[in-house]
Amino acid sequence: MYKEVLLAIDGSENSRRAAEEALHLADGKTRITLLHVMDPDDNQGDIVRSTNERAWNKKKKDEVSSIIAFFDRENVGHKYLTRRGLPAKEIIKEAELEDYELVVIGSRGLSRFQEMVLGSVSHKVAKRAEIPVMIVK
Asked if 74 and 105 touch (Cβ cutoff 8 Å), the reply is: no
Is pTM beyond 0.85? Reply is: no
Virtual CA dihedral for 90, 128, 9, 47, nearest 10 degrees?
30
- The 10s digit of each residue's pLDDT in 28-76 is 899 999 999 987 765 455 545 555 566 656 666 677 899 999 999 999 9
How many Å apart are CA 91 and CA 39, to the nearest integer? Answer: 12
37 forms beta bridges with: 83
How many Å apart are CA 29 and CA 36, to the nearest integer? Answer: 23
